[in-house]
Amino acid sequence: MKFSPEQVPEHIAFIMDGNGRWAMNRGFLRLRGYEEGAVSLRRITTHCRELGVREATFFALSTENYLRRPRREISFLMRLLKTYLVKERDMLMDNNIRLTTIGDISSFPADVLETLHETETLTSENDGMVMRLALNYGSRQEIINAVRALCAEVRDGKIDPDRVEEISEDVFAAYLADPQMKDPDLVIRTAGEYRLSNFLLWQSSYSELWITDELWPDFDVEHLDEALVAYVNRDRKYGAVLDPASGEASGSNGI
């Protein structure tokens, strides 16, 4: 399906849900679902690049899952991540995609961190699209970390405590995990769940949401195109309503 450049969101964020369900529905171990999910990640990434999307952020591993899932499953995911980071280097380079991450990866195995660093370095000059993996990521913790950093700046005298009222949304956003991230225009969640699950809570304040019952391993380019058709046909008012007399936007606290 063809979309004009002005119709394509600059930033799409994906909550990749349903990998385990996909596997269990077919009588496989849950781990098989993550392998198939990595295949879906590849085709959706390349399709985003073909469409002209500038940023694509994928919720790959939440803080909650990292802490609560069985260690055997987390170890498998770490191995899968390392394999993915090596296997997809050609795809990233061929498509001029820069890989980056958000989240607390400090406790990841040393070999995984090394491979991640190598892939980030290899793709650091690519400027066609940013592919961002959210790994051991939780939005509430991200916001808390930003508040702590901001408070430390006040404590250390870098911000005048008598002028804290000048701290704006833009100032605060500079302390988030990736200050260069544009707020998502569209957030897509698979597997039919109607919640953000602690994903980009600050950044998604005015994002359009699109939910599909498709499980992530089954999510394909036609489903993404379907989401874009819905996005194009929505009227994004950012909390404002149109004055019927002037056609100009005015503030609104309602829907």
pLDDT in tens, 34-84: 999 999 999 999 999 999 999 999 999 999 999 999 999 999 999 999 999
253 pLDDT exceeds 90?
no
- Please tell me which residue, 139 or 245, carries the higher pLDDT value: 139
Confidence of residue 251 (pLDDT cuts 50, 70, 90): very low
Of 65, 126, 145, 198, the catalytic one is 65
Confidence of residue 249 (pLDDT cuts 50, 70, 90): low
Give the three-state DSSP class for 209: strand
Residue pair 120/99 in contact (Cβ under 8 Å)? The answer is: yes
Which pLDDT belongs to residue 237?
Answer: 75
Of 132-136, 181-185, 247-251, which range is least confident? Answer: 247-251
Q: What is the mean pLDDT of residues 103-126?
A: 98
Q: Average pLDDT over the chain, rounded to whole?
A: 93
Q: Find residue 97's DSSP bridge partners.
A: 129
162 lies in some domain: no
The domain containing residue 76 runs over which residues?
7-138+183-251
Is 95 considered catalytic here? no
178 in a structural domain: no
> For residue range 214-237, what is the model confidence (pLDDT) as tens digits?
999 999 999 999 999 999 999 887
Confidence band of 243 (pLDDT split at 50, 70, 90)? low
The yes-or-no verdict on residue 255 having pLDDT over 60 is no
Task: Supply the pTM of this predicted model.
Answer: 0.92
Q: Residue 234 domain-assigned?
A: yes
**Is 12 inside any structural domain?**
yes
Could you confirm whether 65 is annotated as catalytic? yes
For residues 246 and 155, the model is more confident at 155
pLDDT at 236: 82
In a domain, 48, yes or no: yes
Q: Total domain count for the chain?
A: 1
147 inside domain: no
The proportion of the chain whose per-residue pLDDT surpasses 70, expressed as a percent, equals 93
User: Is residue 166 a part of any domain in this protein?
Assistant: no
Sign of CA dihedral 198, 199, 203, 209: negative
For residue 147, the model assigns a pLDDT of 97
Helices (H), 88-138: 89-94, 110-122
Q: Are 4 and 48 in contact (CB under 8 A)?
A: no
Domain of residue 229, CATH code? 3.40.1180.10
Does residue 175 fall inside a structural domain?
no
Query: What Rg value do the Cα atoms of the chain yield, rounded?
Result: 20
Q: Across-strand partners of 193?
A: none
